[in-house]
Structure 1
Amino acid sequence: MPLFNRLGLADTPREVFNYRLFWSVGVFGILGAGRGIDEGLVGGMITMRSFKDEFPLEVGSAEEIANRESTITSMVQLGSIGGALLAFLLCDRIGRVRSLQALTLLWGIGFVIVITSFGNIGQILAGRFLAGLGVGMTTVVGPTYLAEVAPKAIRGMLTNIFAGAVYFGVMVAYFANWGCSENISDASRSQWVIPQSIHIMFAGVIFLASWTVPESPRFLVMKGKDEEALTNLCTLRQLPIDHPSISSEILDVRDQLEREQESTRGSSFYGKLKELVTVPANRYRLMLGIMSQLLGQWSGASAITIYATSFFAALGKTGRSEQLFATCILGVVKFCSAYICAFFLVDFFGRRRSLYTGILLQTVSICYIAIYLAKVPASAHVDADTGGITGSAKRAGIGAIAAIYLSGFGWAMGWNSFQYLVNAEIYPSRLRAIGSSLVMCIHFANQFGNTKAVPSMVISMTNYGFFFFCTAVCVLGLLWVWFFVPETAGRSLESMDALFSLPWHQIGRHGKDLSPGGIDHFNENDLEKPTVVHRD
């Protein structure tokens, strides 16, 4: 029980952990699969012979081919930039649930356009852009809802169900590509169409399930619908309306909203934007979100996920089937790692320590890959009979492939968990949607740039130069986390203001000591002390 108490669960009624909460969390959490499915599918799709035969990809110089392929690959990311902004406009107007329904329609219709393209590259690009609008919305709508309905003691775990779902989608996509490549002829367009149809299946199932989940109580309070908010909170917590836990939570939400409204500088988009960038506490929050995207996206993990088959080829995987199977293993590693981190590390180990440890693992593994590729070029130590790398180079290559998997675990523990959780939990209620939207615009702009740039970077810098670049970014990430990232585990959403009201240079390294309230300040002896009531 001491550990149970230390994690802040002692004061949480058992009824709170119920099927209605977990079902609602599951519906919004699985939205992460939208981005993951595309990242896992598109890299394999453009390498399939059936796709190359249907679309004229292999025409022109190496640079022209790389540019054409990266344009197709990155179109979802380009659409997602607009989708992240659209999410803000819809989230604060029609609510989290209706926004989810809108995005699944965009997502599904977009990929219907893709699979009916029949050789028209323009239609492929249009469909992927439209789907990108929906996929971009998922990164705001999902984490926002999850953070708002989750009990504070397990908020990190429940919010990171979204982050884990990204790699559930990646894993499903990798196996779909591999299975169709192995079992469907290169002459049939079904080889690439069937994997792409997974998007439509996921979007349809989530759309239907969304009609069974309640709207976020925090959103309803913000809209002045207090009675409906109270009803929905009771539904999510499975507690009676007069329970002290319900009264306390709803009062906290109302108090914070009233404080926000008193200090507001306008209710319009521009008023909220001004408040976000002119108030020092909000500016620090925005910095955390933006820097996590810049450093996380260029750390190499996203490029490895999308172009996994190419990187496995550079590490000695010779056949297409062998390369695709290696990506399947990577998908399993990232999926398992994401949920291990979500369920056992992020809330219990802490946000800051999890992020620092994850980046450290990523730095070491990516540096090893860079050194291997620098010392063992693809043409070295090739066996004339098998065409594969032999001897010590082969053993080192196995280590490099293992390092790819280790970097996936580090990414899941570090940046992948943090980049969604930080946006969902640090902003005040009225700024949560716009703050998350702006940061996720930066996320997809970086991912678009990364996806477009990686093929050209590999040509100009070579594979090992690219991985050395990623290593340098990881080292910068370690320094940034050490100085700027605060510990927020165990805090209520309404208690974040005290943390971010500290001087900027104290928030990261000393915030948990100067602004108590997280799991590190839980005193087990407090449970044994009787409450003394003084009467006049």
Structure 2
Amino acid sequence: MGLFKPPGMANHPREVFNIRLFWSVGVFGILGAARGIDEGLVGGMVSLKSFKDEFPLEVGSEAEIANRESNITSMVQLGSIGGALLAFLLCDRIGRVRSLQALTILWAIGFVIVITSFGNIGQILAGRFIAGLGVGMTTVVGPTYLAEVAPKAIRGMLTNIFAGSVYFGVMLAYFANWGCSENISDTTRNQWVIPQSIHIMFAGVIFLASWTIPESPRFLIMKGEHEKALKNLCKLRKLPEDHPTITSEIIDVRDQLEREQESTHGSSFLGKAKELVMIPANRYRFMLGVMSQLLGQWSGASAITIYANSFFAALGKTGQSEKLFATCILGVVKFCSAYLCAFFLIDFIGRRRSLYIGILLQTISICYVAIYLAQVPASAHVGDSGASAITGSAKRAGIGAIAALYISGFGWAMGWNSFQYLVNAEIYPLRLRALGSSLVMCIHFVNQFGNTKAVPSMLIAMTNYGFFVFCTAICVLGLLWVWFFVPETAGRSLESMDALFSLPWYQIGRHGKYLSPDGVVSFDEDDLEKPHAIQHEVQRGGTH
């Protein structure tokens, strides 16, 4: 890592950072491309002449056309709501690796149905819904496995491989749409079918690679398979069974699981759900996940990704090839930003500070676009000949607005996009990790579905200018929420999160890092009156 060495990395043996670990997190990390490929492809697909000729999209009023288009674009998000719940049912029963294999099968089958639709919109919707079940599972299965196998010093970096691969998928999809638009005739359905087949290829490759990946040791301990857990952890850490690092990690996981089981409301779904909402520490965790989804999804970034063609047209990119190429640049910006943030920021400057800076960049850039569109509405760009009708300072300001969209993409990658997956993967207790992540990702897809469905109608009712003003207001609200509620979790072990969330709710966000540093074990008030309990924790190195 050179100069960019995360805090705490020196505390791990060199062997921990090995090829087996990076291969395993790479296979689970690339799952993020499932969402990205669809978000990048679907907006371009419905704008291609070949697709419009095959499917009767542009029939009826402006509102009916917008509704029909949003039904197609949002169907994967609708399926993903069910997929996120399905991930909870499978993750804690068949494991993280088998869940990955199941989701790739659903993902591939869905898009086989899509590309064999031959003019049937109903089949397109059904295929995209089935694919959505698999895509929705990726957002739980991927980050959960990554957080569970990653060494704590680079947990943010490795978990955000998933967030980065979302925009690897977006970038790949944008270039596929642009390339096929330029090089394949718009009279043949291959122009939209070939880009869609990328889904099937990705799902197939990940399915085959998954057979080489060891199951999560934390999952195996939860299932009582302690010997196999020890063996898998040794594989991932490349250390012998009696090494202090292995021994310490196994003991920490077992101790946490024992403490959880002693204070649970039962092992059923209802018992875990009750535990999630009735215990204040868990309720705070759940609030962080829910609010990060609400504020992140309505900050405008998701809408810009899916409807990039429309927004670039509003800013002066009027030709089809010109719009698609502009989206390609947006894809490159988001992809590079996501991995820049994952590898050099999240574990180095911390989750909280990264989120602050990212939202601030997003706020300023989206506000600029809103001001530009208030002064130069989209209709001003098209003259009688169909070419751009603006010149001079307005044209230069338009170039600035396009650059602002790219900057907003960087801010999103650094802020909400990294945080929304990482926070779910690392803050929950082991027995609630799959349930908490599943419920929050359901909320993620409910919001994304609502966002995708609403944006075409919002643009008609509010105009482009009003939509960007709305997004700016959400970003400002997000900054205030982060300042008060979001704690710093960089460098913490997963097992030490309980101490942080045991603090009074008003201290967790602003002061939790200092009041409960990594390694401090929380006590109930009754325990504080029992000297033997404190002595036991001191011997374990948990209290200072």
Q: 1:5 to 1:113 in 2, by over 3 A?
A: closer
Q: Is the 8 A contact 1:381 1:391 kept in 2?
A: no
Taking the aligned partners of 1:141 and 1:360, their CA distance within structure 2 comes to 30
Match of 2:533 in 1: none
Superposed displacement of residue 6, structure 1: 6.9
Taking the aligned partners of 2:270 and 2:289, their CA distance within structure 1 comes to 19
Q: Does 1:373 align with 2:373?
A: yes
Superposed displacement of residue 216, structure 1: 0.0
Q: 1:505 to 1:458 in 2, by over 3 A?
A: same
Unaligned runs of 5+ in 1: 519-536
Q: Does 1:501 align with 2:502?
A: yes
Match of 1:444 in 2: 445
Taking the aligned partners of 1:359 and 1:331, their CA distance within structure 2 comes to 19
Q: How does 1:269-348 map to 2 (within 5 A)?
A: 269-348=269-348
Q: Is the 8 A contact 2:6 2:348 kept in 1?
A: no
Q: Is the 8 A contact 1:84 1:139 kept in 2?
A: yes
Q: 1:49 to 1:339 in 2, by over 3 A?
A: same
Cα offsets for 1:229-256 (capped at 9, x unmatched): 0000000000011101000000000000
Q: Is the 8 A contact 1:4 1:10 kept in 2?
A: no
Taking the aligned partners of 1:381 and 1:279, their CA distance within structure 2 comes to 56
AA of the residue aligned to 2:91: C
DSSP-derived class of the 2:270 partner: helix
Q: Kindly, what percent of the aligned residue pairs are identical?
A: 86
Match of 1:59 in 2: 59
Taking the aligned partners of 2:4 and 2:73, their CA distance within structure 1 comes to 46
Q: How does 1:369-408 map to 2 (within 5 A)?
A: 369-380=369-380, 387-388=387-388, 389-408=390-409
AA of the residue aligned to 1:484: F
Match of 2:152 in 1: 152
Taking the aligned partners of 2:64 and 2:265, their CA distance within structure 1 comes to 49
Q: Is the 8 A contact 1:382 1:390 kept in 2?
A: no
Q: Is the 8 A contact 2:4 2:344 kept in 1?
A: no
Match of 1:422 in 2: 423
Match of 1:228 in 2: 228
Taking the aligned partners of 2:352 and 2:29, their CA distance within structure 1 comes to 22
DSSP-derived class of the 1:488 partner: coil
Match of 1:524 in 2: none
Q: Does 1:184 align with 2:194?
A: no
Q: How does 1:22-171 map to 2 (within 5 A)?
A: 22-171=22-171
DSSP-derived class of the 2:9 partner: coil
Q: 1:164 to 1:5 in 2, by over 3 A?
A: closer
Superposed displacement of residue 223, structure 1: 0.2
Q: 1:64 to 1:223 in 2, by over 3 A?
A: same
Q: Is the 8 A contact 1:381 1:390 kept in 2?
A: no
AA of the residue aligned to 1:226: H
AA of the residue aligned to 1:37: I
Cα offsets for 1:184-211 (capped at 9, x unmatched): 0110000000000000000000000000
DSSP-derived class of the 1:317 partner: coil
Q: Is the 8 A contact 1:51 1:192 kept in 2?
A: yes
TM-score of the pair, normalised by structure 1: 0.95
Q: How many residues align?
A: 520
Q: How does 1:438-517 map to 2 (within 5 A)?
A: 438-517=439-518
Superposed displacement of residue 89, structure 1: 0.2
AA of the residue aligned to 1:195: P
Q: Is the 8 A contact 2:6 2:153 kept in 1?
A: no
Cα offsets for 1:67-123 (capped at 9, x unmatched): 000000000000000000000000000000000000000000000000000000000
Q: Is the 8 A contact 1:49 1:186 kept in 2?
A: yes
DSSP-derived class of the 1:363 partner: helix
Cα offsets for 1:325-357 (capped at 9, x unmatched): 000000000000000000000000100000010
Taking the aligned partners of 1:113 and 1:383, their CA distance within structure 2 comes to 42
Q: Is the 8 A contact 1:171 1:331 kept in 2?
A: yes
Taking the aligned partners of 1:277 and 1:385, their CA distance within structure 2 comes to 60
Runs of 4+ residues over 2 Å off in structure 1: 1-6, 378-386
Taking the aligned partners of 2:168 and 2:180, their CA distance within structure 1 comes to 18
TM-score of the pair, normalised by structure 2: 0.94
Taking the aligned partners of 2:509 and 2:473, their CA distance within structure 1 comes to 22
Unaligned runs of 5+ in 2: 520-544
Taking the aligned partners of 2:2 and 2:198, their CA distance within structure 1 comes to 45
Cα offsets for 1:109-157 (capped at 9, x unmatched): 0000000000000000000000000000000000000000000000000
Taking the aligned partners of 2:31 and 2:385, their CA distance within structure 1 comes to 47
RMSD of equivalent CA atoms = 1.5
DSSP-derived class of the 1:209 partner: helix
Q: Does 1:356 align with 2:389?
A: no
DSSP-derived class of the 1:146 partner: helix
Q: 1:33 to 1:382 in 2, by over 3 A?
A: closer
Superposed displacement of residue 377, structure 1: 1.5
Q: Is the 8 A contact 1:97 1:215 kept in 2?
A: yes
Superposed displacement of residue 378, structure 1: 2.5
